[in-house]
Structures are given as C-alpha cells and as structure tokens.
Structure 1
C-alpha cells in the first residue's frame, strides 16, 4: 500500500539555480516536487495541493520564510505540513532558533550537506506515506462500518417485515377459521336438525314453506362460503398481477339496481332500508368486477350501518361516473380511514368483527384497475360515505 502513495514536496527559493539544485537532490520516483520563487506563489500551491514537506528559504524579498511559515501555521489546510528552513546566513544570527519558534521541524545551513538533505527528506516522505496509509485504512474501516450499519438496518427492516408477515398470516388464519366456521356451523346444524326430523318420522317439518326457508338459509351460508373463497382468490390474483379486467358497455345505474335486488335477503336480515338515486351512466367497465365493488360497499354499509337507512347514488360528472354509498352508522375515525383499505383490516373502534377484512382492499384494487379512485368521508358516530369515481372510457 505504501508504494502506491505519492508524496508531494514544495521547495521555495527566490533564486532559480537554488530551486534546480535542491530539486535535483530530493526528486524520486515516489515523489513529485513543486517549485515556488516567492511566498505568494507558494501560498497558491499550498492551497491547491497536499504536501508531505515544505522546504523554505529564509531570506526572500517581500515575505520571508519565517512570515510564510507563520501564515501556514495559521491556516487549517496547511498547519500540519512539516517545514524545513534553509539559510545561507551564518549560525551567529541564530536563525535556527527563530525557525523552530515559527514551527519548523528542522533547519539546514548552506552549503547543504547532500546526504543529510536526502536522508531527512526521505524520513519525512516515509512518515507522510505512513500517515496517508493509516488515513486510508481508517476511511476504509469507516466505510465498512457504514456499510455494516446499512446492512444491519436492512436486516432489521426485513426482520420486521417478516414478523409482520407472520402476524398477518396468523391473524388471517384465525379470521379465516372463524369466518369459515360460521356458515359451516349453520349448515351442520341445519343438516342435524333435518336428520333428527327424519329419524323421528316428523314429515310435517318438510312442508313446502319450511323446505323453502331451509333452502334459503342453506343458500345464504353457501354464498357466504363462496364469497370468502372468492375474496381469497382475488387477493392472490392481485398479488400476482393477474386480476383480469374485461370492459364492455355497462349502465352503472342498472348494475347498482341489480346488485341491490340481489341483496334483498341481507337487507331483510339486517333490518335496513335502501334509497336509490341513480341516473343512467354508461361507460366501458368490467361488469362483474363493478358488481363486486357495489356488493362490497353495500355489505360494509349493512355491517356497520347500525340498522339505519343506506343511500346509494349514481351520477355523471364530466367524463367520470360517480358512485356513492352512504350509511348512518358508527362512522370511521380519521386514523382508520386509510388503514381500512389494507389487507385484513377492519374498523377497530367497534365490536363488529365480521369478514376477512379484504372487501375494501379488493374494492380499491378493482377501482384502480379501472383507472379510478375511491375515497371515504366519515367521522365517528356520523356514518360514512364511500365515493367511487370511474372514467367512462379507461384506456
């Protein structure tokens, strides 16, 4: 590593012949020598380069070597550069003492001792190269530490994501087991009850009216199971980018009316009424997927609407169709309004804990696939209004 570090040397003297002679003594393959014939020229070079050693002539016109050394010691960039003074003055002038006071590390008298000059310069060059090597090692260690910190942060983030995924999986399995068990338990009880009647020969329990009621209950339980399975399949399609959208000409008002008609039994069970204010709006959408959107929003309104009336409206706004589903139930807090569109999330401020928490997540994805957007406007205790905007002709 040391052999690859080049040292820069600065020599300052007002006589060109002295500069040439001194450079001839100290030049080498592992170093680069810069010459300055004045203190001003030297200062310019000092600000441009990082020097391993500065050799200054004491007696120069204008600013002398001692004054240049004082400036170097007062500047952050140059205060650590070793300084060696050179002077032709006699020893009796005590220049050496003044030089050391100015921060010099050595003082040489002319005529120069060739061996002394070359050996001392070599020592300073080697010291500089060792300092640079240590500096590079420290920088490499710091870079390695930063990389390790970054890697550790990434590992921690990954660990948190994995822990979240595990919690979501556990929550999902818990919710699924509960939601699937509910319709299955209903079917199981109906089956056991019918078997009990058959075993006792109680054929009066199977009149046409009672069989119709049994069939309707069975249909509701089967539809619940089918809806759960379809929701899980849709989440899988969304994750893999395989949620298909097949647009055809659709009248949104007719579609909403059809979905509401299919919800008659749920509306009766929930003790809830619906008012429709729909205008014919035709656009190019996937009818099956939009039925899912309306059904999910209507299910949500019945679930959290506190048996209050639900209002559904459809209107055209420019080149957009606007669908609104409003309930007058428990409402949604501002902190929950974004969270409810995530997977397996449900309103936290209520004891109502039905469904997988996938309906609004799937709804948002379907709306986004039609290049539309969905918003919710709500306050706690003031009900909620879900507004869906769809371009009439999404590309």
Structure 2
C-alpha cells in the first residue's frame, strides 16, 4: 500500500526570490517543498521532518551551505539526505571540489538549467520513494512475521491448555466415578453373598447420601464446562425474575453450613435489610455458592462472613474469608478459566468457578471484584444493579 504522505524537499537560500524561483521549478504532485532562509532555520526543519533531498545555497550570511552540510553529515537523522549545492560563484573558485568533499551529490551553478534541475530532483525523489516503499515492505513483512509468531504461540498455548484441561477433567471425574464404581462393586458382592443385612435402613441412607454427593460432583463439573461453552459462544442467557436477595443468602448459607462444619469453620450472615431486584435467581445463587465454596476451601478453617449492603441503585454481597490472601500479581489471573488456587483442602476443581461467576455478574450488568492482601484474607464483592422489571410486551 503506497504511503499517502508527500515526499518532502528542502531548499535553503537567504534570498526569498531565489527560494520562490527554485520552488516553482521543483514542485510537483506528491511533493512538499519546505523553505529555509538560513542555516539555522534549515536545521530546525531537518530535525522535524524527513527529507528526500536538500538543495543548499553555498553563499549565505552566518552559517553557509558547507557548514550546514557538515552539521547534517554529523547527525544520524540527516546523515543520509542527498545534498545538492547551488552557487552563483564562478567555477574557478573550485566549489565543486569543496562541495563533493563536504558530502554533496552534485553542485549546480547559477543561472540554473531548469531541465537539469528537474531531472536531478526527479532522480532523488524516485530513489527516496523506492527506499521508503522497500522500508514499508520490510516493516510489513516483519509485522506479519511477529503476528505469525504470536499466532503460533497462541496455538501452542491453546494446545497446552487443551491437554491440561483434558487432564483436569479426567482427574476430577475419576474421583467420584471411582467412588461410585467401588460402591457398586461392594453392593454387588454383598448381594452375591446374600448379605441383605448390609442394606438396612441406616446403611441404605448412608449409601444414597454418598451416591448423591458423587453424582452432584459430576453434574457440577459438566455444568461448569457447559457454562464456559455458552459464555464463549455468546449463548449464555438469563431467566430474570423478582428475587429477594437477603432470603436467597440465608438459604445458601443454611445449605452450606454442614459443609462449613465439616471443614472445621463457620459462616456468619449479615443481611438484615430485605432487597429485591430483577435478577436470575438460579445464576445469582450459583455465584454466591461459588464464592462461599472458595472461601471455605481457601479460608484456612477460619470463619467466613457474608454481608449484604443495600443502596438505592445497587445491592452488594461481600464474601470475606480470613485465609492467606492472594498476591497482587495473581488477583486478575484467578478470574481466568482453568486458574486454580493453591493451598486448598480437598479437590481443587477445574478452576472455572470464578471465571463463570464474573461472567454471570457482568451479564447482569453488575460486577465481581476482589480485594485481598497476603496474610489478611480476601473479600469478593458481587455488585448487582437494582432496576424494575422490563415492561410487558
């Protein structure tokens, strides 16, 4: 793609009439001619712009053309600019030799030959534009190479993530499936032996409870994977309705209290203010359960606190644990899929809970944020907007 910017030419002369005449001679389509009435003005322009060539008058008061050329050759930015000297002095002063010695590509004597000047300018403009086109091609190739490397790196990362994901799924599903399989084999053995006493009311109740826990573990894993698929395909939908949030929190805390007791800790709830909103009850409960489950898992067996704060425009649920906290450089990463915490008790899961929870919060036009310091625990805050139900259609 051709660069739309014009090719810039610099002409330097202390006489305005000479500048006007020379510009009229060399200007043309796609060119921008810059004028300087002194060496100092020329240096200022040279530092601001990239020129295809510079036409310098030799005899100027103050800094003459040769001195300006010497300064140009000593500066990295202007070193490669072709210089053409123009002089009204006679050839007997041997300015040609001095000009070439100063790094000029040509020396022209006044009165100027218009066709010769136009031809020389056209040559240097063409060379400059060819160099620029080649530079742009090299930059485009380099950008394409970097993009290809980035794509390959992403592909390699995706392959690694796929393998890790499959390994995690296999590991997490194997545990409940193995338990179910062993339970089934044990019952089969008891039946083959005719030991019906092993299936008394108390034993059956414990068996059903164990089976239910393992089946629920498998269902949660499958649901998490399905939610991730829906999120990434943009097919995650809500089923909103009127939800009373404080009641929902009381129900979830009550349901998880046995789990907290088993983990050697407790959950306290501060949600005295009733608040209703137009939310998806199932999804909000899913978020709160994820947050509480994580708090119990990573809370170092210390109490977990749930607080409901109500404002005119929003409601916020804070889940606070007193665990080891999360390092600042890991706080964003834990909301990414398949990122799992360390130091937990029991199975760590697929590392999808916080990712799904944040996505669900954002689908509600709310947010899920984290405040944490190492050694001081963590606070996950679910903020939900309060709004009326949409009008009936």
TM bin, normalised by shorter chain, reads 0.7 to 0.9
* 1:80 pairs with 2:100: no
Of residues 345, 351, 361, the one that matches 1:367 is: 361
Q: Which has the higher Rg, Structure 1 or Structure 2? A: 1
CA spacing shift, 1:179–1:107, aligned 2, 3 Å: closer
Aligned to 1:385: 379
CA contact (8 A) 1:73 1:79 kept: no
Cα deviation per residue 1:78-131 (whole Å; 9 max; x = unaligned)? 9922436477xxxxxxx62365577484668xxx9xxxx97xx75665444333
Q: Secondary structure at the match of 2:64?
A: helix
Q: Structure 2: how far apart are the matches of 1:192 and 1:221?
A: 15
Q: For each residue in 1:367-393, what CA deviation from the matched residue of structure 2 results, as whole angstroms up to 9, or x when unmatched?
A: 111222222233334332222121212
| Cα offset, 1:298, TM superposition | 1.5
SS in 2 for 1:340: helix
Deviation at 1:199, TM superposition (A): 1.0
Q: Aligned pair 1:273/2:305, yes or no? A: no
Structure 2: 5+ residue stretches without partners: 1-6, 28-34, 46-50, 73-80, 100-105
CA-CA distance at 1:262 after TM superposition: 3.0
Q: How does 1:45-194 map to 2 (within 5 A)?
A: 66=59, 71-75=64-68, 80-83=83-86, 85=88, 96-97=92-93, 100=96, 103=99, 105=107, 125-194=118-187
Count of aligned residue pairs for this structure pair: 345
Deviates more, 1:234-243 or 1:315-324: 315-324
Aligned to 2:196: 203
Match of 2:281 in 1: 287
- Compared with structure 1, are the counterparts of its residues 100 and 158 closer, same or farther at alpha carbon in structure 2 (3 Å cutoff)? closer
Aligned partner (choices 237, 251, 257) of residue 250 of structure 2: 257
Correspondence for 1:355: 349
SS state of the match for residue 228, structure 1?
Answer: helix
CA drift of 1:312 comes to 1.8
Contact 1:272 1:307 in 2 (8 A): yes
Moved over 6 A (4+): 46-54
TM-score, with structure 1 as normaliser: 0.74
CA contact (8 A) 1:99 1:107 kept: no
- Aligned residue for 2:301? 307
TM-score for both structures, normalised by structure 2: 0.74
CA distance in 2, matches of 1:365, 1:208: 44
The residue aligned with 1:90 is none
Aligned with 1:275: secondary structure? strand
Of 331, 342, 346, the residue aligned with 1:337 is 331
Query: Once the 2 structures are TM-superposed, how far is the Cα of residue 272 of structure 1 from its aligned partner?
Result: 3.3
